[in-house]
Amino acid sequence: MGQGLLQIALTLCIVILITPVLGRYIARVFLGERTLLDRFMNPIERSFYVLAGIRPKDEMTGWQYIRAILYTNLCMGILVYSLLYFQKLLPWNPNGFGAPRWDTILHTVISFVTNTDQQHYIPETTLSYFSQVAALGFLMFTSAATGIAVGIAFIRGLTGKKLGNFYIDFIRAITRILLPISVVGAIALVFLGVPQTIKPPLDVTTLEGGTQYIARGPVASFEMIKMLGDNGGGFFATNSAHPLENPNGATNFIELIAMIAIPAAMIYTYGVFANNMKQAWLMFWMVFVVFVLLVWVAAGGELEGNPLVFNALGLEQPNLEGKEVRFGWAETALWAVMTTATMCGAVNGMHDSLMPPGLFSTLFNLFLQIIWGGQGTGTAYLFVYLIITVFLTGLMVGRTPEFFGRKIEKREIILASVVLIIHPVLVLIPSAIALAYPFSLSGITNTGFHGISQVVYEYASASANNGSGLEGLADDSLWWNLSASFSILAGRYIPMVAILLLADSMSRKQTVPQTSGTLKTDSLIFTTVTAGIVLILGVLTFFPVLALGPIAEGLKIGGS
């Protein structure tokens, strides 16, 4: 027990230490200040600008930024769909895989282009090396860069600056942040035992004299951007629980840090842009405290174990079902909460085997989307809640709500409300439809309360662009591919449009002088109120689902 808690504590301490370093670096990149990579990356970036006809000094309005995102993502999606459809004709296909079903390709492309990476297929028996690297690996970089660009544009607008140019932000996110860190991280993973090869699967003879095929491939490079970009889609079906994706404690630590590094740093980046580090640290600690509480809930449930096992076998031990022994209960619980908090979706153990407290924590993260949140967009969601808090507290004291000296009016509240309302709609309505037809549609493999959690988790993961799942669900069907694709698309682009329009609206407002009655948003009491509103809105919206899922399951197991 003590060793497991120490592992969790040390990981969290490292997160705190690297946040200001990476956060300040990201701010320097997007503020146009000098960095160590300028000498190498400036010529590369200029060549992209010339080839694409991009003028770096051109600023975009909200709608121009939105159209640039949609057009770029659409073109990338069509390209990758074509690559997957014709993969049998393309190189690096030692197994001779043909094209998957059209609905599987469609779901896969939509999932990866939106940074969701929900997988309804078995990667090592479905996709060639070329498809994994040139198609999906390509989208891992571009989807993460899109999210970072949106987060930076939102921060600019919120702090009274122009939104910038999507293409410039997009390219810089790749060349200055994602690519350099991924190269260093991939080399470290190779050194620690993760394979990087284009050789075909290894044919070995077992001790019984049988034949076993061991899948391998260019895993290390794929794995690093998977974690750093909070993509989450695995090279193998068992994801980071697979010994070739995550062979030991050292690789597990690197992947954990890579998963949370950018989402945590983006809060600090906001503080640099706003020239208000006090508020940034207050928001950081608010998120950190909630995150630690959820880790404590999940880890406590896994440490306590399953009372049904105690009663049947008389053994008191942590819950090790669905876990890799090399990680144990503590690292698996920490990973499960972190991967759903950061919207990464990678797993180093099976979430379907989590005890009800762990399932509660993971679902709670998917419902809120702001406990770190996804690449860039998570920071935007966090400050949308801040705007809602400013509005509500302003009503309480009878003053016009203001944020950074800019009035919060009807348009901003409508756009903020869209961001908060669309997620419950995309989770609860499809879940109700699937649960109404448990045999023909839902694919539930567990009866009772856990079966409800399986369905709700799938749509929450899709709409939150997380991608993880409770793998007892039979989700490789036409219904799940199409319905999950709808939730993924709407959950990605509707909030993104609203966020950018909100940022554009805030950037155009005139500042008003602060007075003694101006509500200060960088105080401890305001941050506490924000945390309360976040939790209340999350509980009010999703508590019935939590009550019918992990809470009811926990009560049932505890009473057995």
Alpha-helix runs per DSSP H in 229-276: 249-274
Q: What letter would DSSP give residue 438?
A: I
Pair 414, 517: CB distance under 8 Å: no
Residue environment code for 137-173, b if the CB has 16+ CB neighbours within 10 A, otherwise e = bbbbbbbbbbbbbbbbbbbbbbbbbebbbbbbbbbbb
Section 255-283 average pLDDT: 94
Q: Which domain holds residue 540?
A: 2-558
Q: What letter would DSSP give residue 521?
A: S
Q: What pLDDT shows up at residue 508? A: 87
Q: At residue 259, does pLDDT exceed 60?
A: yes
Q: Which residues contact 53 (CB under 8 A, 6 or more apart)?
A: none
Q: Which residues contact 60 (CB under 8 A, 6 or more apart)?
A: 68, 163, 164, 165, 166
pLDDT band at 441 (very low <50, low <70, confident <90, very high): confident
pLDDT band at 442 (very low <50, low <70, confident <90, very high): confident
Section 32-47 average pLDDT: 90
> Which residue, 476, 428, 468, is CA-closest to 452?
428
pLDDT band at 242 (very low <50, low <70, confident <90, very high): very high
Q: How far apart are CA 141 and CA 225, in angstroms?
A: 7
Q: What pLDDT shows up at residue 538? A: 79
Pair 488, 116: CB distance under 8 Å: yes
Domain count, the chain: 1
**Residue type at position 529:** V
**Residue type at position 384:** V
Q: Which residue has the higher pLDDT, 1 or 460?
A: 460
Q: What pLDDT shows up at residue 217? A: 93
Q: What pLDDT shows up at residue 314? A: 59
Q: 84-88, 397-401, 506-510 — which one is most confidently predicted on average?
A: 84-88
Q: What pLDDT shows up at residue 480? A: 92
pLDDT digits (tens, 9 = 90+) for 101-120: 999 999 999 999 999 999 99
Rg, the chain, Cα only: 23
Q: Which residue has the higher pLDDT, 79 or 6?
A: 79
pLDDT digits (tens, 9 = 90+) for 286-344: 999 999 999 999 999 998 888 776 655 556 688 888 899 899 889 999 999 999 999 99
> Which residue, 167, 144, 145, 150, is CA-closest to 465?
144
User: How much is the pTM?
Assistant: 0.94
DSSP string for 289-308: HHHHHHHHHHHHHHHH--HH
Share of the chain above pLDDT 90, in %: 65
The average confidence (pLDDT) of the chain is 90
> Which residue, 375, 119, 333, 123, is CA-closest to 230?
375
Q: At residue 357, does pLDDT exceed 90?
A: yes
Q: At residue 438, does pLDDT exceed 90?
A: no
Q: What letter would DSSP give residue 485?
A: H
Q: At residue 519, does pLDDT exceed 90?
A: no
pLDDT digits (tens, 9 = 90+) for 132-173: 999 999 999 999 999 999 999 999 999 889 999 999 999 999
SS3 state at 196: strand
Q: What pLDDT shows up at residue 58? A: 85
Q: At residue 517, does pLDDT exceed 70?
A: no
